[in-house]
Structure 1
Amino acid sequence: MVKDPKGSQGLRDIVQTRLLNDVLKNSCDKWPGWMVLVVDPPGLRVLSSAVGMYDLMERRVTLVEDLTKKRAPFRDMGAIYLLTPTKQSIDRLLRDWTPSENRKEPLYGNAVFLYFLGRLPDNLLAMIKTCKPLLKRVKALGEVNVDFLTKEDRAFHFDMKKSFRYLFPHRNTGQPTPVEMVICDKLVTLCATLNEYPHIRYRSSSPLCTSLANVFHRKMSEFIGGNQKWWYHGDANHTSRGRSTLLLVDRSDDCLSPLMHEFTYQAMVNDLLPIEEDRITYKSETIGNGGGEESKSMDKDVLLNEKDQIWVELRGKHIADVIQVLSNRIREMVNSSTSQVAKSKGNDTKALSLSQMASALKALPEYREVMDKLTQHMHLSHQCMDLFNKKGLLDLGEVEQTLATGKTDEGRVPKMNELVDMVEEQLQSAQDSQIR
């Protein structure tokens, strides 16, 4: 978690500012025409997590292209590349500018701007220098240090979903694994973005944490040595607050969490509903107006991200508290709005029929916008609870918590044969998705 990076700015805002200024504005200042933004898959995910299409259009980017796919030529446009510093991406970059039998001319115009998510190794820089058609068009080359995804304003991840199995191999060489090197490279870009040079704390009995601490310390020192103008909180010229602390922990420091379902709103949405990249689709019922119009069902997309203030506020709360909060707010909204409508018509609330109230409330724009959001979340939270009851997660949760704490919900310490019976019963009745 990131605690108040750079004062009141969230991590997503910092990354967005970095991309808009150091990549897009810097390119616009050097080229007056329209441009194509070319990204590899990791670059696209980093870009999408912080910058919207409107931001790109404002800075004369008309098209976002995938480096790994076949693309049409735009020889009257400049090209901005946002890439990971890997040999695969550099090979594809050079292919755009190297004549071949099928294509005699380069894909893009006479202005090329090269930006990399992390440090560009010397051997890859040397590869770029060998391509003369590209080299003579390069107007800028930089390392933007944003090789991570801004999941929330105070949370990030490295987009390495399959890394766990590579972190705990049998250690017989004493050398860091390739995955550890990648993690530390990404962590350096995060610290560079936040202007942090952290103290490192870790459990010395953990070989993994020890290795990561040593590799990160070395790479961070190399970064500072190669970037003399870079500053960090706590240095001689920035003393408003001291250096931060990086805590390195492994799963042995928290063995119980994987054993238990979490019943907060965010955890249940991700556990039970078909959410992908913060987007979820659900069936919305449109109620008829009573004049012959029938109720309709339609698919509705919802984005659960930092722009949804209700989601930001409620995602960490227990699901039961979420439903209670939403119910209270909807009731307050209806009462407040119907009172306003009644006053405008010279009546009291009791004098209006239900159909009059509904029609009048739909005519209030501020009602529609807020109520839509509230009802969206009420629908999602009720979906979570329906699946919670259908899958028997209450009983399963009680077993998990008893195993984790050694006590029942009544505070009693169960006997071993009771625990065995409880587990056997769940194994016989639970679906595969429920068993941890």
Structure 2
Amino acid sequence: MVLITLVRDYIGRMLHDIPGMKVLILDSHTVSIVSVAYSQSELLKKEVFLVELVDSMSKEPMTHLKAVYFLRPTSDNIQKLRRQLANPRFGEYHLFFSNILKITQIQVLADSDEQEVVHQVQEFFADFCAIDPYHFTLNMEMNHMYMLPAVADPASSQSFCDRSVDGIAAVFLALKRRPVIRYQRASDIAKRIAQDTAKLMYEQESGLFDFRRTEFSPLLLVIDRRDDPVTPLLNQWTYQAMVHELIGIVDNKVDLRNIGKVSKDQQEVVLSSEQDGFFKANMYENFGDLGMNIKTMVDEFQQIAKSNQNIQTIEDMANFVNNYPEYRKMQGNVSKHVTMVTEMSRIVDERKLMTVSQTEQELACNGGQVAAFEAVTNLLNDESISDVDRLRLVMLYALRYEKESPVQLMQLFNKLASRSAKYKPGLVQFLLKQAGIDKRTGDLFGNRDLLNIARNMARGLKGVENVYTQHQPLLFQTMESIIKGRLRDVDYPFVGNHFQQGRPQDVVIFIVGGTTYEEARTVALYNSTNSGTRFILGGSVILNSKRFLKDLEEAQSISRTSSVV
């Protein structure tokens, strides 16, 4: 089963088993969990006539409604519930929690229910946002914490780890599996999360995770974003990843309010593979093919619109009225995709992204330091290149050639500082301290391992179908290593005495610091063409270059004030 199906099943059971008119009460986390899995029209079909946030509820009594709470089991939420149960607004209270409840929390709720309005308390393990069938996120606000040692901010660091463990645990409880756990040795935060997860699954809540054994245990691999800082720095050229990079996606929603003249009902649109057939078919297509497919969709719509104008009989009119909802839906869908692709084309032209991206891909995928230095220098001198694109180019050059050309690197640093008013001094150097070659485990540029060198040479000889999508995330190599049993124990040790026997059928890879849609595409394409091992990808957030740079700046700022790197 895939993650979206599991979450939808939880929500469906929650609402279906309670007949009558309902109000659904969520917190800031569960509102995202529900919104990506269930549409508003689906909630209405389940007789949910009101959705409220637990933080901002009205005080108006509504005893005719049944309250369905779906909350994270935090101490803050328990206290809010305690106060609301002391003065009930609703006729019935049905309490569902997205993760494991402590005995003490259950006791607090029982003591607070003096008027006996609580009809049930249940744990439904959906403490993660299932963005796509094989991709989840925890939407963590303090994502930059993964770059800082625990001593920089112990409370926030602990909170970051605890939330990661909660989310990972909920995924495996939903899948009804207990994994063997491995982590990236070079990352303290990955080690800590892996060990805390193992402690929860094998000690503190071992009974809860005591599922029926499978022939081969599932695998949880916890790795660090800093092992591949290249992927979130690149411009993207496949539909879903490109929308996130150039416009932004939050919980499968795209804000189009700042894009020219957009009709009121198109100011925020949903981009979900579960709810939009065109998007599902095209989310991994490159920009060129996408343009052709959108043209085909527009042509089909125009044909339907033309036939609807040809109403001559009462029967024609009846057919039009019957098909009108579908017609309106198709019209909205065509408008949505045309608007987004038009806006992305404008940004690509304005920022000269085809020129920039070609150099980015060369830096990420091919050797040649002299040519790379010349290409980056030329783009830094080009007045039409934006500050953020200049910064990303220098970062990519620095990650690739930090040891080979320190003199040229310093020249690029100086040029960047003189050309870009918004450049924050030392940010590229901070990236190298965080994710330079001495810190990385994997063969990021395919130039350490003989097999990867040969593979890159072969790819160069064959040529690449599309110069803009030739990059392959490091995650692809990691997945290959898992399938072939080549993931080195010395780099990715097991936690405790639980070792992998044979090839795992289910693998969850959790990236501390966040995933990208390019990596989610890699996982989805693998799962669609291979059988035997199914991969699920998750992380603390979903990154684009803007968010990655923001996290880097925030971590740099804290490390300066606390003198900790």
TM-score class, shorter-chain normalisation, is 0.7 to 0.9
Of 75, 88, 98, the residue aligned with 1:106 is 88
Aligned ranges for residues 337-352 of structure 1 at < 5 Å? none
Shift of 1:158: 0.6
Describe how 1:25-424 pairs up with structure 2 within 5 A. Answer: 25-28=16-19, 33-69=20-56, 70-98=58-86, 105-109=87-91, 111-133=92-114, 136-163=116-143, 165-171=144-150, 177-222=158-203, 225-227=206-208, 231=211, 235=213, 242-273=216-247, 277=251, 278-281=253-256, 298-301=263-266, 302-305=269-272, 306-328=274-296, 330=298, 373-374=333-334, 376-407=336-367, 414-415=370-371, 418=374, 421-422=377-378, 424=380
Displacement over 4 Å in runs of 4+: 274-277, 282-285, 296-300, 328-338, 363-372
Contact kept in structure 2, 1:280 and 1:303, CA below 8 Å = no
Cα distance change of structure 1 residues 59 and 387 upon mapping to structure 2, 3 Å threshold: closer
Superposed CA deviations along residues 284-324 of structure 1, whole A, max 9, x for unmatched, are: 99xxxxxxxxxx98455142112111111212121112112
1:351 aligned residue: none
CA distance in 1, matches of 2:234, 2:243: 16
Distance in 2 (alpha carbons) for counterparts of 1:420 and 1:59: 56
Partner secondary structure for residue 289 of structure 2: helix
AA partner of residue 178 (structure 2): Y
Give 1:35 shift: 3.3
SS at match of 1:156: strand
Distance 1:324 1:223, change over 3 A: farther
Aligned 8 A contact 2:238 2:285 in 1? yes
Offset at residue 166 of structure 1 (A): 1.2
Which letter maps to 2:346?
D
Determine whether 1:430 maps to 2:360.
Answer: no
2:328, 2:81 → 1: CA distance?
A: 48
8 Å CA contact 1:259–1:404 kept in 2: the answer is: no
The letter of the residue matching 1:386 is R
Mind listing any 5+ residue stretches in structure 2 that lack a counterpart? Answer: 313-319, 393-565
Q: Which has the higher contact order (CA 8 A, sep 6+)?
A: 2
Q: Which whole-Å CA distance do the structure 2 matches of 1:93 and 1:336 have between them?
A: 52
Structure 1: gaps of 5 or more residues:
1-5, 99-104, 286-295, 346-360
Shift of 1:97: 2.5
Q: Answer yes or no: is the 8 Å Cα contact 2:142–2:160 preserved in 1.
A: no
Q: What amino acid sits opposite 2:65 in the alignment?
A: M
Q: Does the Cα contact within 8 Å between 2:239 and 2:282 map onto a contact in 1? A: yes
- Relative to its length, the structure with more helix (as a share) is 2
Percent identical residues: 22
Max Rg structure: 1
* Aligned pair partner of 2:11 in 19, 25, 31: 19
Q: Could you tell me which residue of structure 1 aligns to residue 402 of structure 2? A: none
Check the 8 A contact 1:65/1:71 in 2, yes or no. Answer: no
